[in-house]
Structure 1
Amino acid sequence: MSPPISPSLADARKTLHRTSQRGRGQQQLLRASAVQEAEAPSWGPVTELWTKKSKTDYDSLQARFRAADIDGNGVIDREELRALLESTDSGSQYSLTHWLEDDDLDKVMRNYDENGDGVIQFEEFCKLAQDNVLFSGKIEEYEAAFNLVDTDKKGSVGPTQLAQLFTNLGNPLPYDRLSAIMRQYDVSKKGQLTFNDVMKMFRDELLDLNEILNYIKLAPDDSAAATSVEAPAKTQPGEILEIESEEELDNILQERKDTLIVLLGSLTWCRPCKTLAKPLQNLAEYYKEAGFLKTYGNVSEAAKYLFKERLKARVTPTFYFFRNGELVHTHTGANKVKLEYYIRECLEPKERPEQALFPPGSGPAGNWR
């Protein structure tokens, strides 16, 4: 027969049991909290589980912020904000020209630089993006909307054409309202609105892109942003040759017709292009079976013709891939992982190294697909 348990020992066992139960409960709470923290954005509460959509939206905002932060210092400065506001497709396509007025830029900066430090932090950027300040459509969609109004194809529209557009959209304007709009957006004071002027109207939400696209029955095509023209080559392995004319491009394509030629179409002031300079050089040195070229569309008249007329470049950077003198691929954006992916896709198996230099998932913009 077991000896009787003393009252003090019985109490100790009860206390130990209660402590063990609390410990298991705390462990369960800690495990649940860890799951919540893993699924919640860094600025979100850990007491609530975030849906997959919430986390996807947050990840998308982070990717867009990193893309806009050209110099990678963790904030968006004034010029980076200008490039972002002038871009289309939520910041993935950069404008070829600077058209945003300083006053407009300063107004956006004042509205969203909440702590007044002269830059846009990530939390401030989230508010900016959620307020639909960024152009969401693709550049070709805005061009199609402008071309609908520019019926005589002279690159500008007058009050009569603008009035017809509003009428077609079911929103005819009285003369005084139309006159006020022309005065507000006609920067040149010539009674004509250029494409950049009309883009300001889109930014001010005076025009709705979806309404116009529906009117002209233009079905937005996700692949449209990836259809451009062509690409060049380098003369020596590891070299990126700069060309300035259509003739230079044709000569290289003829001389190296069996080689994959990769051409970067850029402008000297394109900041995303500058961030890609070192990775592009690394790729040129790594993929010695390919030829690498670059052209700046603002260095000469010949380069401008190559850039705008032959290559039909709309945004920078744009990459053109050639093989046997024919365009085989083109895409936009300063993403080294995406660029290498298509280089490897367009090279023959015997031409490419076994390992990628920038494998998918590497770097802040690694998961681009």
Structure 2
Amino acid sequence: MSQLSEEEIADYQEAFNTFDTDGSGSISRSELRSLLTTIGQKRNAKGLQDLLEEADVDKSGTISFPEFLTLIDRLVKNKSSTTNFSKDELASLKESFDHVDRDSNGSINTTELRSLLRLVGEKFDKAFVNSTLQEFDTNKDQQIDFDEFLVMANKLIKNKSN
């Protein structure tokens, strides 16, 4: 984990306390869902459970403050290391993602991915759509969440510029 200043730790403690709505001193599954939605990282049920299990090092079923710090550090590093998008580009990509996510569940299935690829101006066969899904679906839930979508967009943009 990267070194945090006292001010950053205080800010994270305040955020932790805000999402610890029952005052238990830890963040439950439902509180984690609320937190992720607030920061624009909506996950489906499996993605949420996987993230909780990954963050919950002591296997208590909830996330303590030290576990929360590690989780936030990982989420921030993951986002900044996989993409180099500006705020405006991220907003535009989020808008595109939300437009294609017709059922508003926070992820894109194969049908929605096919629609997205058509928006790019290409018509791809089912095999290409399925292989694209497999390539970018890092948590293997058969859907592309927004973080996975950013990695996909980053790669597509790099490929176009080469």
Q: TM-score category by the smaller chain?
A: 0.5 to 0.7
**2:138 maps to which residue?**
none
Task: Find the aligned partners of 2:112 and 2:58 in 1 and give their Cα distance.
Answer: 42
Structure 1 or 2: more helix by fraction:
2
Give the whole-Å Cα distance in 2 for the aligned partners of 1:131 and 1:115. 17
Which of 70, 74, 78 is the equivalent residue of 1:131?
A: 74
Query: Does residue 1:79 correspond to 2:17, yes or no?
Result: no
Q: Which residue pairs with 1:109 in the alignment?
A: 52
Q: Would you say the 8 A contact 1:77–1:118 is kept in 2? A: yes
Instruction: Tell me the C-alpha RMSD between the 2 structures.
Output: 4.3
The structure with higher relative contact order (CA 8 Å, sep 6+) is 2
Q: Map residues 52-71 of structure 1 onto 2, 5 A cutoff.
A: 54-71=5-22
Kept in 2: contact 1:88–1:135 (CA 8 A): no
Query: What TM-score do you get using the length of structure 2 for normalisation?
Result: 0.56
Equivalent pairs, count:
129
Partners of 2:96 and 2:79 in 1: CA distance:
14
Are the aligned partners of 1:66 and 1:72 in contact in 2 as well (CA < 8 Å)?
yes
Question: SS at 1:131's partner residue?
Answer: helix
Partner of 2:142: 184
Q: Counterpart in 1 of 2:145?
A: 201
How far apart are 1:85 and its partner, in Å?
A: 2.5
Map 1:1-369; keep pairs closer than 5 Å. Answer: 54-88=5-39, 100-101=44-45, 103-132=46-75, 141=91, 143-146=94-97, 150=100, 155=102, 158-164=112-118, 176-180=127-131, 181=133, 184-185=142-143, 200-203=144-147, 205-208=148-151
Q: What is the distance in 1 between the residues matched to 2:95 and 2:146?
A: 13
Q: How much has 1:104 moved relative to structure 2?
A: 2.3
Q: What is the letter of the counterpart of residue 122 of structure 1?
A: F
TM value normalised by structure 1: 0.28
d(CA) in 2 for partners of 1:206 and 1:143? 9
Distance 1:174 1:67 in 2: 46
* 1:161 partner letter: S
User: CA, structure 1 residues 106+175, in 2 after alignment: closer, same or farther (shift >3 Å)?
Assistant: same
- How many Å separate the matches in 2 of 1:166 and 1:207? 15
> Within 2, Cα distance between the matches of 1:177 and 1:206?
16
Moved over 6 A (4+): 133-137
| Residues 273-306 of structure 1: CA deviation (Å, up to 9, x unaligned) | xxxxxxxxxxxxxxxxxxxxxxxxxxxxxxxxxx
SS at match of 1:114: coil
Structure 1 or 2: more strand by fraction:
1
